[in-house]
Amino acid sequence: MEEKHREILQLLEENARIPVETLAKMVDLPVAEIEAIIKKLEEKKVIVGYSTVIDWSKIVETETVTATIDVKVTPKRGVGFDDVAERIYRFPEVRALYLMSGAYDLSVVIEGKTMNEVARFVSDKLSTIDSVISTTTHFQLKKYKHDGVVFSDGEGDHRIVITP
């Protein structure tokens, strides 16, 4: 059963909109059972949410800028990095936040409408947090691949139509 759960999760991770009927056929379980499994995985927060991968650069009016910011912080006694992390991820501008090993501590992904907006966020909100020692901002120039999805149009099927 564990194996079936993993299979369902992998298929959903690839395409969250796959119909349950299709899933049921693919993993060879009844539809009702698939629905029950998904519900359970949602309740257990194994499935945390469903989102869509969008190439916003193709929608001119909604073009955004994204930056990754390396943040060095002083961890606090008792709560370590969690406390400062929480202070940062509560901002809706923060799209992602990771604790890192290496030269800095937190990797913050910020999305804004303009470079100015992102810059202001860094100077006004992020750097002013007590534990933050320093920030280094890297603006993304082009998205080639995101969450396993390549953003360019593929080359299509090169195979000839009928082969033995």
Partner 1 sequence: MTQKTKSSLRTSNLVNSIQPSGIRKFFDLASSMENIISLGVGEPDFITPWGVREACISSLERGYTSYTANAGMIELRIEIANYMKKQFQLEYDPKEQIIVTVGASEALDIALRSIVDPGDEVIVVEPTFVSYAPLVTLAGGNPVSVGTTAETNFRLTPRQLKEAITDRTKAIMLSFPNNPTGSTMSLNELKEIAKIVEEHDLIVLSDEIYAEMTYDGKHASIANIDEMKDRTVIISGFSKAFAMTGWRLGFVTGPSDIISAMLKIHQYSMMCASTMAQHAALEALQTGMEDVKKMVQSYKQRRNYFVKSFEEIGLPCHVPGGAFYAFPSIKNTGFTSEEFAEKLLLAERVAVVPGHVFGAGGEGHIRCSYATSLENLKEAVARIDRFLVSFR
Binding site for partner 1 (CB under 8 A): 7, 11, 22, 25-28, 157, 159-164
CA distance 129 to 102: 21
Nearest approach, Cβ of residue 21 and partner 1 (Å): 10
Give the residue with the Cβ less far from partner 1, 58 or 159.
159
Nearest approach, Cβ of residue 125 and partner 1 (Å): 40
Give the residue with the Cβ less far from partner 1, 18 or 79.
18
Residues 89-128: b if buried by 16+ CB within 10 A, e if exposed: eeeebbeebeeeeeebbbbbebbbeeeeebbebbeebbee
Q: Which of 91, 110, 88, 90 is nearest to 99 (CA)?
A: 88
Give the residue with the Cβ less far from partner 1, 26 or 129.
26
Nearest approach, Cβ of residue 3 and partner 1 (Å): 10
Nearest approach, Cβ of residue 163 and partner 1 (Å): 5
Give the residue with the Cβ less far from partner 1, 25 or 138.
25
DSSP bridge pairs for 128: none
Residue with tokens 């202001």: 120
Give the residue with the Cβ less far from partner 1, 25 or 40.
25
Nearest approach, Cβ of residue 17 and partner 1 (Å): 12
- Phi-psi group of 102: left, alpha or beta (phi > 0 → left; psi -120 to 50 → alpha; rest → beta): left
